[in-house]
Amino acid sequence: MTQTVQPATASGEAAPNSAAVVIPPALKRRIPKYSDLAPLMQFKKPEFSNAARLKRASTIWDLRDIAKRRTPQAPFDYTDGAAEAEITLRRARQAFQDIEFRPGILRDVSSIDLSTDILAKPSRLPFGIAPTGFTRMMQSEGEYAGSQAAQAAGIPYTLSTMGTASIEDVAAAAPNGRNWFQLYLWTDRERSLELIERAAAAGNDTLMVTVDTAVAGARLRDVRNGMTIPPALTLKTVLDASYRPAWWFNFLTHEPLTFASLSRYTGTVADLINSMFDPTLTFEDLDWLRETWKGKLVVKGIQTVEDAVKVVDHGADGVVVSNHGGRQLDRAPIPLHLLPAVSAAVKKRNPEAAVILDTGIMGGADIIAALALGADFALIGRAYLYGLMAGGRAGVDRTIQILEKDMARTMALLGVTKISELNPDHVRLLQG
C-alpha cells in the first residue's frame, strides 16, 4: 500500500499549499523475512588450493603474483627481468598501455572467430608460445607443459636451443601439436646442422633463427642473484627456495637441468653458450641456413625496417619484430612502435611473408592491438612463463584462457568478428 506523507515546516507543522510526498512500498522500512534473506546467504567454503587460485586469476598480472609467491627469486627474476636498467621492457609494456582503441558500434558480434593462418597453416588463436631458455628451472614441467598446452589450444609452440627438454622429447610429449624450433646459428656448422636435422626429423615445420645475440645482454638481476651457466644454487638461492617447498621438492626429485638439445655435445655448457652467441655472423650465414632448411624460416630479433626487408630478400618466410624481451640491448626500439613501418615494407616486398610481434604482451587486448597495426601473429614469452610458474601445465592453460577471453571481448567491443577485419583504423598510438 502506498504511504502518503505531508511535508512539514521547520517547526514541525504541515507546510501550507504543498503536495503530499508519496513513498513507494519498496522504500518503506520493514523487518526482513528469512525467506528474503535465504537466497542471499550463499556462503562458500574457502578454497586455498593452487587450482582455486589459478581459477580466480583474471589477468596475466594475477598469474605473475602467484608465480612470484611460488618461485625462488633467482628463477623468477630470470624470467621477470631484462637488461641493464630494464628501460626497454618498461617502454614495451607502456606502448601497449598507450594504445587508444576506436570501436565500431551496431555490428553483429554474437560470434567471434579468433582463428588465423600463420606460415601456411591454421592456428586456432592468433598467437603462439615463444622460445624460452632454462624453462624447467622455472617449474619442473617446463617445455612439456608449454608444448602440451599449445597442442590442446591449437597454437604453435617454439622450443629454444637453450631449452631443458630435447627436440625429440617435446615432439613425443605433443605429437599432434605444431612444433617450431628456435636456433642460434653458430659458425660451427656441424653443430647447427645436427640440430637442424633433428628438428626436421622430429616434425618441426618452422625454424626460427635468433639474430639479436651477437653478445649476451647485461642481465643485472641474474648477476645479483648469482645465476650461473650452467645453473647452480648458491647458499642464497637455497635459502630462498626453502620458503617455496613445492618448487624445492620438484627441483630435487626430477632430472637435473641441462640444455637438452645440446646434451649430445662434448664440452661444458658455458663453452656451448659462448659458441652460440657469435659476433661474426652475417647475411651469408643466413643464406646458408636458407639453403639447408627446407621448411619455413623465420628470423627473430628484427629491430629496423631495413633489416626486415633484407632478411626477406635473403629468403626468410617471416620476421619476428622483437628486442628479445628487453633482455639484450637496453633502450632498443619498441616493437609495437616499429611494427606498422615493418609490416608495410615487408608486405610490399613479399605479401606472403609473415610479420610476427613479441615483447611486452601482457593481455589479449595487446595482441589485438598488434594485429590491427600490421602483425599477422604474436608470440608470448613471459606471459606463458608466469602461468607455468604459477601452476605448471594448468597455469599455462590458464594463461591461454585469459588471453583468449581478453581477445574475444576486445574484438566484440571493437565491432569486429574476424582477425582479418582488424586494421589500423581500430587503434591509435598515443605516444611513439
Q: Catalytic site residues? A: 324
Q: Residue 210 and residue 377: Cα distance in Å, rounded? A: 17
CB-neighbour burial class of residue 67 (10 A; exposed 0-12, middle 13-18, buried 19+): buried
Q: Residue 58 and residue 53: Cα distance in Å, rounded? A: 10
Tell me phi and psi for residue 202, to 5 degrees: -85, 0
Q: Residue 216 and residue 278: Cα distance in Å, rounded? A: 10
Q: Sign of the C-alpha dihedral, residues 238, 263, 278, 297? A: negative
**Axis crossing angle, helix 283-292 with helix 189-201, rounded to the nearest 10:** 40
* Count of CA atoms in the C-beta half-sphere (13 A) of 149: 25
Nearest to 162 by CA among 193, 187, 195: 195
Burial 323-340 (b: 16+ CB within 10 A, else e): bbbbbbbbebbbbbbbbb
Helix or strand or coil: residue 404?
helix
β-pairing, 318-321 vs 296-302, is parallel
- Taking phi first (over 0 means left), then psi (-120 to 50 degrees means alpha), and beta for anything else, what does residue 325 get? left
C-alpha cell at 255: 632430472
Contact 195, 181 (CB under 8 A): yes
C-alpha cell at 333: 626500439
Peptide bond into 245 cis (omega under 30): no
Helix (H) or strand (E) holding 195: helix 189-201
Nearest to 276 by CA among 288, 261, 290, 257: 261
The one-letter amino acid code at 343 reads: S
**Axis crossing angle, helix 73-80 with helix 382-414, rounded to the nearest 10:** 40
Nearest to 374 by CA among 352, 350, 355: 355
Helix or strand or coil: residue 202?
coil
Cα 291-294-297 angle, rounded to 5 deg: 85
Give the list of residues 6+ apart from residue 306 with CB closer than 8 angstroms, or none: none
